[in-house]
A and B are shown apart, each in its own frame.
Chain A
Amino acid sequence: MSTYSEKVMDHFNNPRNMGEIENPDGVGKVGNPVCGDVLNLYIRIENDRIIDARFKTFGCGAAIATSSMVTQMIMGKTLNEALEISNRAVAEALDGLPPIKMHCSVLAEAALKSAIDDYFKRK
């Protein structure tokens, strides 16, 4: 097991925005149970701005913490601003991740892009 920052442990133990959104405007489902990580990200959008974000995650401590962090980071952001959030930024916001856990932040970024994609497809 890796050593996590206090911030990672805080988001793992007190996840922000955990849950779902009924009739969301976009959903990003990434990962695979075979790989040990599944992340579902739900977003609500008004006037090109993310007004709500929720997640459900099956995964390790880092996967849950990055999910929680990414929902917090995109809340209130315009779609363009949200699209600029990189996996590295999510990891940095958590005071870093162990190198072997960086893929969890990649998954969070992928879920975000996928949810926004889904929104444009639905429009």
Chain B
Amino acid sequence: MKRIYLDHAATTAVRPEVVQAMLPYFSQLFGNASTLYSYGQEAGRAMEEARNIMARFIGAKSSQEIVFTSGGTESDNFAVCGIAWANQKKGDHIITSAVEHHAVLNTCKFLQKRGFKVTYLPVDHYGFVDPDDVKKAITNKTILISIMHANNEVGTMEPIAEIGKIAKENAVYFHTDAVQSFGHIPIRAEELKVDLLSASAHKLYGPKGVGMLYIRKGTKIVPFLYGGEQENKRRASTENVAGIVGFEKACEIAEGTMTEESRRLATLRDKFIKGILEKIEFTQLNGHPTKRLPGNVNVSVKYVEGESMLLKLDGKGICASSGSACTSSILEPSHVLTAMGVPPDVAHSSLRFTLGRENTEEDVDDVLGVLPDIVKELRLMSPLYQEKRGS
């Protein structure tokens, strides 16, 4: 059976060129970058070259502003906790939003238990944070604002540059979780006025287990791991050289392909969304029609539960995701859709398709070909649909 992978927001397949770039660093150039003999120096050079390229890619002033981590979650934890612990004498207040990834949200919840105060800003029905709300939430105790660049569920792109300006004016550190957008849409740290930015390699056809935290020079932050002097004493642990080289390669390719690829994906996305809304009654788009990530499609198919649709799609070889409670372990529907004011029953009916480089128009047509029948079959079983038809 032909398989169609439409969950690129979850993870992506590593590009063959990336695998090729990484391969020498497993056995041949295996050295520990902290050593002074040739093996170590080779590894160290590869890593520093990667750091330079990454710095250029996001418009950092210096490669020393790039810290390699184990992934997006670590970068988010590092940013939020690192700023909180380093600046607690100055203040104890953190501003974030209700739609952040759990890597930020649960870190904030942890800090709340340790005495920090956290403001979770609401969003509008598209998922946008209002920069005015950020401004109003700032107090003389605020030490950090953490707002994501683009949302992982609905793809909404937040007004980061505007929030960055407000943060700067108020001399508050600003972190953005750019895990979903990094390598897909252009990001310039200087233009966004961010002090910290999280990214992860496996969302842009790089390997899992490697990420990055951009830390603007002069930012007061405590280290994330204690031990050796790696990463400028900010994150001890022998570096994942192969992963770092792979991450860099993925960025290098993204830099060259991003403009064209994002245009291509946005066209597919718009066709996909239009197709679902036209072919299936009682459906709605979640998130903004245009200010969303180029590959993100998030719809609710009312009166059908999300997981049941995913199982039927999987039966046809189609891999997607849902914000239904049944796909999580907490039995609550997506916190993102809920914060956007989507009623729980409609959130349970959500489907997320995230397009990527190997997807074609044919894939979209294939899904649009089978989804209406899947929905029809499940709605036939649904007492909610029956009530709707009856009324």
Question: Are B324 and A36 in contact (CB-based, < 8 A)?
Answer: yes
Contact A38–B383 (Cβ < 8 Å): yes
For residue B305, which residues in chain A have a CB less than 8 angstroms away from its CB? 36-37, 58-60, 63
Do A34 and B345 touch across chains, with their CB atoms under 8 A apart? yes
Instruction: Give CA–CA (A37, B304) in the complex, Å.
Output: 10
A101 to B331, CA, bound (A): 9
Contact: A56 with B307, CB < 8 Å?
no
A58 & B315 in contact (Cβ 8 Å cutoff) = no
Complex alpha-carbon distance, A52 and B188, angstroms:
66
- Of A11-19, A70-78, A85-93, A114-122, the one with at least 4 CB within 8 A of chain B: A11-19
Q: Does B126 contact A (CB under 8 A)?
A: no
Any chain A CB within 8 A of the CB of B329? yes
Distance in angstroms from A50 CB to nearest chain B CB is 20
Beyond A58-B304, A60-B326, whether A36 also contacts B348 by CB under 8 A is yes
Interface: A24 (CB within 8 A)? no
A82 at the interface (CB under 8 A from B): no
Q: Is A61 an interface residue (CB 8 A)?
A: yes
Summed over the interface, the residue pairs from A and B with CB atoms below 8 Å come to a total of: 78
Query: In chain A, residues 48-62, which have Cβ atoms closer than 8 Å to a Cβ of chain B?
Result: 56-62
Residue pair B304, A1 in contact (C-beta under 8 Å): no
From A12, A18, A20, A36, B311 is in contact (CB under 8 Å) with A12
Per the bound structure, the CA–CA distance linking A64 and B308 in Å amounts to: 8
Q: Are B304 and A36 in contact (CB under 8 A)?
A: no
What range describes how many residues of B lie at the interface? 20 to 34
Which of B308, B329, B343 contacts A61 (CB under 8 A)? B308
Given contacts A12-B308, A60-B307, contact A36 B344 (CB under 8 A): yes
Q: Which residues of B contact A20 (CB under 8 A)?
A: 386
Chain B residues, Cβ within 8 Å of A12 = 308, 311
**Residue numbers in A under 8 Å from B348 (CB-CB):** 33, 36
Nearest CB of chain B from residue A104's CB, rounded to whole Å: 9
Q: Is the CB of A56 within 8 A of B310?
A: no
B112: CB under 8 A from chain A?
A: no
Interchain CB contact under 8 A, A15 and B344: no
CB distance from A43 to the nearest CB of B (A): 15
List residues of chain A with CB within 8 A of the CB of B311: 1, 4, 9, 12, 61
Whether the pair B381, A33 counts as a contact (CB closer than 8 A) is no
- Give min CB distance, A89 to chain B, whole Å: 22
User: Main SS of the interface on chain B?
Assistant: helix
A61 surroundings in chain B (CB, below 8 A): 307-308, 311, 326
Contact with A along B278-310 (1 / 0, CB 8 A): 000000000000000000000000011111101
CB distance from A42 to the nearest CB of B (A): 10
B318-351 residues at the A interface, CB under 8 angstroms: 324-327, 329, 331, 333, 343-345, 348
The residue in A29, A37, A39 that gathers the most chain B C-beta atoms within 10 A of its C-beta is A37
Known contacts being A1-B307, A13-B315, A59-B308, is A36 close to B325, with CB within 8 Å? Answer: yes
CA distance A61 to B344 in the complex (A): 18
Q: Which residues of chain B come closer than 8 Å to A59, judged between CB atoms? A: 305, 308, 326
Query: Contact: B345 with A33, CB < 8 Å?
Result: yes
In the complex the two chains form, what is the Cα distance from A12 to B344 in whole Å? 23
Q: Decide if B360 is an interface residue (CB 8 Å cutoff).
A: no
Whether A40 sits at the interface, judged by CB under 8 Å, is yes
Nearest chain B CB to A63 CB, angstrom units: 7
B331, B345, B383: the one within 8 Å of A40 (CB): B383
A38 touches B381 (CB 8 A): no
Q: Which residues of B contact A40 (CB under 8 A)?
A: 383
Residues of B within 8 A of A4 (CB): 311
Tell me, in angstroms, the Cα distance from A62 to B383 when the chains sit together.
16
B35 within 8 A of A: no
- In the bound complex, residues from chain A placing their C-beta under 8 Å from that of B345 are 33-34, 36
Check A57/B344 contact, CB under 8 A, given A35-B325, A36-B333: no
Tell whether, in the assembled complex, residue A58 and residue B307 are in contact, meaning their CB atoms are under 8 Å apart. Answer: no
Residues of B335-391 at the interface with A, using a CB-CB cut-off of 8 Å, are: 343-345, 348, 380-386
What are 6 residue pairs bridging A and B, where the CB atoms are less than 8 Å apart in the complex? A35-B331, A36-B324, A36-B326, A38-B382, A58-B381, A60-B324
Residues in A lying within 8 Å of B, measured CB to CB: 1, 4, 9, 12-13, 15, 18, 20, 29, 33-40, 56-64, 100-101, 103
Further contacts, 7 of them, CB under 8 A, given A33-B348, A61-B308 = A12-B308, A20-B386, A33-B345, A56-B383, A59-B305, A60-B306, A100-B331
